[in-house]
């Protein structure tokens, strides 16, 4: 039998420009990277409920878009890791850029009148997205995408630090937890890339349950999915505070964070 990494499955030969450290078709013939695929559920299901709750609460459309954009990223990543096809890779990577642009817009519009639209910022972010898309389709260089995505994340980090330092210091816990989860995920992403051969050899010697725990790209999905979700909560908390609502972070079933709020009553 061929090594797990060389197995072919339902979707045929790999056409993506990236093939991660998880052994291909090792769990099932229908999914190329099983753990890298199912770990995306954290980016798909919770944001859908967040979007539904945002509609019910009458929140501004950009926050509904934020939740739905995160869901699209999760679905794109699911399709990419399931098939390892180039078209599905684009469905994963390009929405990462678009969703981050929505996050940036939300963060820089936190302290504006309700339902206001910043057409200048909107134009810049749409133009940025179009340029990145056009260049990436032409050069097909993953490092270019990673640098562009990193620039957007860095912008979000700087804006978040400004808010928790100068505007709402009591939001440090939420802001830094989101950032910390993202950075931990980024660390594991790098370990997975740099030490892939060692990780694969380790998995061959260990029981399957321990091997699963070393699927660090899957952990990247889980940690950054949760970090991104918390970032939306942080942005939403900041916004509703400015609009003089009473936001509160609650935990469904004692584990999953959501924001509940009520408008400030007028006397």
- CA–centroid distance for 87 within its chain: 19
Q: In angstroms, rounded to a whole number, what is the distance separating the alpha carbons of residues 51 and 49?
A: 5
Q: Residue 196: inside a domain, yes or no?
A: no
Domains held by the chain: number:
1
**Residue 120 among known ligand-binding residues:** no
**Residue 81 among known ligand-binding residues:** yes
pTM of the model: 0.92
**Domain coverage including residue 85:** 34-172+232-262
Give the model confidence (pLDDT) of 5-46 as tens digits.
457 889 999 999 999 999 999 999 999 999 999 999 999 999
**Residue 24 among known ligand-binding residues:** yes
Q: Residue 123: inside a domain, yes or no?
A: yes
Q: Residue 49: inside a domain, yes or no?
A: yes
Q: Residue 177: inside a domain, yes or no?
A: no
**Residue 189 among known ligand-binding residues:** no
Strand stretches in 119-165, DSSP E: none
Q: Residue 224: inside a domain, yes or no?
A: no
Give the model confidence (pLDDT) of 100-143 as tens digits.
999 999 999 999 998 899 999 999 999 999 999 999 999 999 99
C-beta atoms surrounding 124 within 10 Å: 14
**Residue 145 among known ligand-binding residues:** no
């Amino acid at each position: 039998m061929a090594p797990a990494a060389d197995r072919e499955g339902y979707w045929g030969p790999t056409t993506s420009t990236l093939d991660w450290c998880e052994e291909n078709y090792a769990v099932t013939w229908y999914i190329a990277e099983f753990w890298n695929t199912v770990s995306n559920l954290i980016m798909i299901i919770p944001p859908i409920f967040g979007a539904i709750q945002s509609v019910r609460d009458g929140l501004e459309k950009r926050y509904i878009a934020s939740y739905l954009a995160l869901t699209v990223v999760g679905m794109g990543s699911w399709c990419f890791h399931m098939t390892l096809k180039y078209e599905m890779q684009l469905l994963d990577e390009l929405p990462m850029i678009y969703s981050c642009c929505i996050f940036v817009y939300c963060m820089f519009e936190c302290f504006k009148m309700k339902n206001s639209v910043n057409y200048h910022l909107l134009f810049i972010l749409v133009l940025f997205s179009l340029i990145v898309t056009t260049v990436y389709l032409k050069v097909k260089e993953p490092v270019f995408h990673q640098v562009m995505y990193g620039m957007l994340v860095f912008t979000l980090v700087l804006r978040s630090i400004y808010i928790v330092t100068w505007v709402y210091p009591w939001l440090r816990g939420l802001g830094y937890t989101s950032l910390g989860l993202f950075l931990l995920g980024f660390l594991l992403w790098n370990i997975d890339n740099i030490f892939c051969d060692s990780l694969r050899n380790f998995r061959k010697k260990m029981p399957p349950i321990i091997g699963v725990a070393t699927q660090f790209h899957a952990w990247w999905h889980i940690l950054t999915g949760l970090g991104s979700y918390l970032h939306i909560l942080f942005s939403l908390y900041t916004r509703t505070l400015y609009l003089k609502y009473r936001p509160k972070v609650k935990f469904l079933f004692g584990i999953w964070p959501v924001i509940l709020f009520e408008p400030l009553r007028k006397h």
